[in-house]
A = this chain, B = another copy of it.
Amino acid sequence: MSHVEPVLLARAALSRLIEPSDTVGQALVAAAGPETAALVASGRQRAGTTLRRDMESLLEERGVRGTDRVFAEALARWLPRTADLAPQRDLQTVHRFGGRMLVPEDSDWPAALADLGQSMPFCLWSRGQGTIPELGQCLALVGSRDATSYGLATTGDLSAGLVQRGRTVISGGAYGIDAQAHRSALAVSGSRTGSDKRAAPDGIRPSAGGSTETSTLAVLAGGVDRLYPAGNDDLLRAVAETGLILSEVPPGSAPTRWRFLQRNRIIAALAAATVVVEARWRSGALNTAHHAAELGRGVGAVPGSVYSANSAGCHRLLRDGSAVCVTDAAEALELANPFALAPEDDGGRDRAGVPADHDGLSVEDILLLDALPLRKAVPPQKLSAVAGLGAAAVRAGLARLELSGLARRTGDGLWQRGERPPVHPSTTRPPSKGD
């Protein structure tokens, strides 16, 4: 690597010196720009009064008072790390792993991250051949690490269904739900072909370009050279091969608790919708859902047994109204494309609020049908009394019911129930999923 743009070196340095979501660091970069910010953060340049004043207003926007004090504390946080500062080496490392560093100055920097405002990462260290698809193409599937067989099954179906529709599944590379989301996406992408995609059942064409070739994308809390957890090493290598691995912290960085929490905001920002598949009452997945809601992204939750502690977090989101109930990939897609046409592969379920209660029969026909005996035939006058219908209504109704096969004339003007079995409302079968 001969010449490296100064901005790359600057942002690489910033991501080494400053922890993710460091408010003061973000204000510094916003006020001074990356290159000056790197010099200031590493103590090689003092912050002038103009810069301090600009930072002050930026920090006050976010409710932070006493710029001088917090800035001094910030420098005290950053300076101890200057010893480890070697941006050139970090860039070489990530290249060695077949990756690169993405910066906001790049044309292919994901526009969706701008929604994070000042919390936008300084840069993204990537690993893999894939690219980051546009927002509408990406959905995040997140959940607990201690998943149940139910959670793994629903995650697998959702992930496969989304990739079959040409979408990219984003997750965090953790055990449990995350791993299943990546694994299932990779499995489908292997078999996916262009024609499959054109046949995407929801009728929404995948976006042009190779973006949808990236079936899955993992955002890690540590460096992209340190695949974590170790147990997912092979899986994450496979993600890097056909998909992409991202992190805002430089190579060698440990996946600390703090970085896990901040990582979640990037998953939420890159995806048009985040679906929590399985989560306990308290779970990091809820943190990701919260970030998604703050960003105005779609938030979904998969329902489960009320006896499963692993679904308590999902039910909590459904109950407080911060998530929409999602039971399959088509419904997940509606979250990402709320204005798209209703899926055609929804088993013909009508989207009307209230189901038809009596198979489209008129009130009079229902009364008449109820009055028709199954076995012995009766005269219209009898039907009139039992059904509580006038003679004319009975005549007209019998004609209609006879057409639909619900009433049968037995000769000499007597009538009885037709062959077509009546359907009781509370047992009417849906022409739908699961049946």
Chain A contacts to B: CB under 8 angstroms = 17-19, 73, 75-78, 80-81, 83-84, 144-146, 150, 153-154, 174, 254, 256-258, 260-261, 280-287, 290, 302-313, 315-316, 318-320, 322, 324-328, 331, 349, 353-358, 363, 366-367, 369-371, 381, 384-385, 388-393, 422, 424-430, 432-435
Contacts and interface: CB of A to CB of B under 8 A. Distances in A.
A266 B175 CA distance: 50
B424 A312 contact: no
Nearest first, the 9 A-B pairs at minimum CB distance are: A76-B390, A309-B434, A281-B430, A284-B426, A303-B303, A256-B370, A306-B327, A284-B425, A318-B325
B425 A261 contact: yes
A142 to B, nearest CB: 9
Nearest to A260: B425
B327 A144 contact: no
B424 A257 contact: yes
B434 A287 contact: no
Contacts of A326: 319
A369 B257 contact: yes
Nearest to A172: B426
Given A81-B385, A325-B318, A388-B78, A370 B258 contact: yes
A327 B390 CA distance: 48
A266 B315 CA distance: 30
Contact of A432 (B281, B349, B353): B281
B385 A287 contact: no
A179 to B, nearest CB: 12
A19 B261 contact: no
A261 B432 contact: no
Contacts of A145: 426-427
Given A315-B303, A324-B319, A430-B280, A261 B357 contact: yes
Given A77-B390, A303-B311, 10 more contacts: A80-B388, A153-B307, A257-B369, A261-B358, A283-B426, A284-B426, A287-B354, A287-B355, A312-B430, A313-B430
A325 B109 CA distance: 40
Nearest to A288: B426
Contacts of A310: 434
Contacts of A331: 319
Contacts of A369: 257
B357 A388 contact: no
Contacts of A280: 428-430, 432
A18 B388 contact: yes
Nearest to A283: B426
Contacts of A254: 370
Contacts of A325: 303, 315, 318-319, 325
A258 B367 CA distance: 6
Contacts of A150: 305
Contacts of A281: 349, 355, 430, 432-433
B257 A309 contact: no
10 contacts: A73-B390, A76-B391, A77-B389, A84-B385, A144-B426, A261-B425, A280-B428, A287-B425, A290-B354, A304-B306
A24 B160 CA distance: 55
Nearest to A258: B366
A309 B422 CA distance: 21
Contacts of A422: 257
Given A304-B305, A390-B76, A312 B434 contact: yes
Contacts of A307: 153, 434
Contacts of A353: 290, 320, 322
A282 to B, nearest CB: 4
Contacts of A75: 390
